[in-house]
């Protein structure tokens, strides 16, 4: 199969490229390198299994994307290219709409012009906003009501796909897509080749691991009075390799005209205190923990009901032990203390 992976030099995109190459596919990895790392692609070139092509290009450059789709006979797209920091999206909403929503329009225009018939979309649980307590764990039927520009751009992406599919159906040109709504993605490739390298880093597990490495002066806990067993927020942490496995499973299952939406998570949550405790156990390191006031918009509990994809495609997370998830990330951070800039 010839697969375009947008955002292919990013955290999740590079892991997807790695898996697709191992499966023997031809992969066109496209990335503007605004947040991605070409060194991640460089690490995948030798002995990759499939065929790897890299193009430095923004998905907003429609003519260039269309040319690459034609040149490499792309039949499937995995779309990861997007900005993904909730707080930043609140501060810079137009930056997010330009990259995420406009970029999605440009990509779909190129796909439609060339006749690409399948797309797997990196959506988010942020499309649900703050779900009702009686809908946690969160099913796909939960109302989608984002509370951040980031979540709104992901919901707009899903709507663009739905409307394109409807138009293509009327034109008798079947278009298949799946929107995969992630919960918290964590961990790293267990061979140690790839990992997580964001600047600034906002994800909890890498933030705590950086504190364990001495690269931060401690960890802040935002809110200790939530109605949870230890007073801190609970979230669902899915290992990046399981996430990518779900993408491949969905890609292989898509039939002409399919419109699918799946939640991706392990189906249970870990609290902030549990993450900190597990990191201390894995790393044998101590570090300061500062308790601070709640942040606006943080729900007490968010974790997935991922039963739909299990029932329909037989997928479920295989790496569900918190210590194993953290171990894989810790291996990456020990070997690459400065990320891909080391």
Catalytic machinery residues:
150
**For the chain, how far is it from start to end, CA to CA, in angstroms?**
34
Contact 236, 268 (CB under 8 A): yes
The rounded radius of gyration (Å) of the Cα atoms in the chain is 19
CB atoms within 10 A of CB 229: 10
DSSP element (H, E) containing 20: helix 11-22
* Helix ranges (DSSP H) in 137-239: 149-170, 204-212
The sign one gets for the Cα dihedral 283, 336, 10, 32 is positive
CB atoms within 10 A of CB 301: 18
What are the phi and psi torsion angles at 251 (to 5°)?
A: -55, -45
Sequence-distant (6+) residues with CB within 8 A of 162 are 259
| Cα dihedral: 283, 288, 292, 298 (round 10) | -10
Q: Phi-psi category of 31—alpha, beta or left, where left has phi over 0 and alpha has psi -120 to 50?
A: beta
Two structure tokens written together for 273? 């205190």
Looking up tokens 């390191």 gives 285
Contact 294, 223 (CB under 8 A): yes
CB atoms within 10 A of CB 161: 23
**Helix count (H) and strand count (E) of the chain?**
12, 14
């Amino acid at each position: 199969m010839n697969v375009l992976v947008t955002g292919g030099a990013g955290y999740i995109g590079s892991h997807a490229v790695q898996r697709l190459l191992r499966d023997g596919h031809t992969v066109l990895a496209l990335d503007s390198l605004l947040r991605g790392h070409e060194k991640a692609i460089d690490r995948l070139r030798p002995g990759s299994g499939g065929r790897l092509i890299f193009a430095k290009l923004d998905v907003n450059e429609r003519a260039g994307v269309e040319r690459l789709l034609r040149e490499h006979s792309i039949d499937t797209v995995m779309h990861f290219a997007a900005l993904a920091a909730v707080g930043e999206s609140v501060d810079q909403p137009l930056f997010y709409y330009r990259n995420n929503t406009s970029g999605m329009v440009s990509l779909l225009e190129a796909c439609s012009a060339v006749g690409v018939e399948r797309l797997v979309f990196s959506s988010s649980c942020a499309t649900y906003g703050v779900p009702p307590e009686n809908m946690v764990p969160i099913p796909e039927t939960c109302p989608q009501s984002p509370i951040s520009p980031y979540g709104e751009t992901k919901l707009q992406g899903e709507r663009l796909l739905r409307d394109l599919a409807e138009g293509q159906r009327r034109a008798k040109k079947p278009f298949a897509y799946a929107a995969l709504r992630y919960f918290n993605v964590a961990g790293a490739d267990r061979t140690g080749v790839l990992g997580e390298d964001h600047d600034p880093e906002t994800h909890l597990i890498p933030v705590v691991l950086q504190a364990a490495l001495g690269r931060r002066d401690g960890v802040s806990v935002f809110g200790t009075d939530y109605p949870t067993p230890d007073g801190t927020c609970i979230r669902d942490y899915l290992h990046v390799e399981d996430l990518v496995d779900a993408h491949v499973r969905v890609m292989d299952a898509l039939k002409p005209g399919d419109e699918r939406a799946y939640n991706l998570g392990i189906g249970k949550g870990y609290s902030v205190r549990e993450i900190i405790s597990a990191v201390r156990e894995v790393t044998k390191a101590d570090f300061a923990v500062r308790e601070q006031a709640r942040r606006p918009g943080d729900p007490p509990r968010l974790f997935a009901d991922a039963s739909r994809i299990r029932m329909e495609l037989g997928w479920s997370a295989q790496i569900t032990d918190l210590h194993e998830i953290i171990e894989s990330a810790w291996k990456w951070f020990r070997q690459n203390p400065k990320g891909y800039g080391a």
